[in-house]
Amino acid sequence: MYLYYSPPYILLIAGLLAGITSGLAFEATLKLAVSDWSKNRSTRTLANLKGMQLLMPFLGICGGVCFFLAAGLEIFGFPTWLGYAIALPLTLFIGLLIWTQLAQVLRQLEKGGSQALDLDSFG
C-alpha cells in the first residue's frame, strides 16, 4: 500500500526566501566593501572580502538554493533522500564555481582597478 504525502511547499518557499534574503545581504556587503575599496584603494580591503563577512551570506544563499532544489524535486515525486542527493552536490559544485569566479574578479579589480573589468572593450 502506497501512502501519499504532502509535498514540502513550505520548505520550497522557505528555501526561496532564505536564498533571496541572503542574496540581498551578500549584495549589500559586497557593494559596501567595493565602495570602501574604491575610496581608499587599499588592497587589504579586497583581501578581507574573501573572509567570513562575505562567506556567511554566500553560504546562506547556497543553503537556501539547496533546500529549494530538494523541495522542488520532492514536489515532482522524487523521494526525499534522492532530492537531497541531487541538490546537495549540485549546490556545492555551483557554489564553488561562483566563489572561485568571484575571487578571480576581485583579484582583477585589485590589480587593474575598475578598468580591468570593462567588458565593453572585448567587442
For 53-110, the pLDDT digits (tens) are 889 999 999 999 999 999 999 999 888 899 999 999 999 999 999 999 988 887 777 7
**pLDDT (tens digit per residue) in 19-55:** 999 999 999 988 888 787 777 776 666 666 667 888 9
| DSSP of 95-117 | HHHHHHHHHHHHHHHHHHGGGGG
CB-facing half-sphere around the CA of 28: CA atoms within 13 A: 8
Closest CA to 33 of 50, 45, 42, 23: 45
Taking the whole predicted model, whether its pTM rises above 0.85 is answered as no
User: What are the residue ranges of helices labelled H in the chain?
Assistant: 9-40, 43-49, 52-75, 80-112
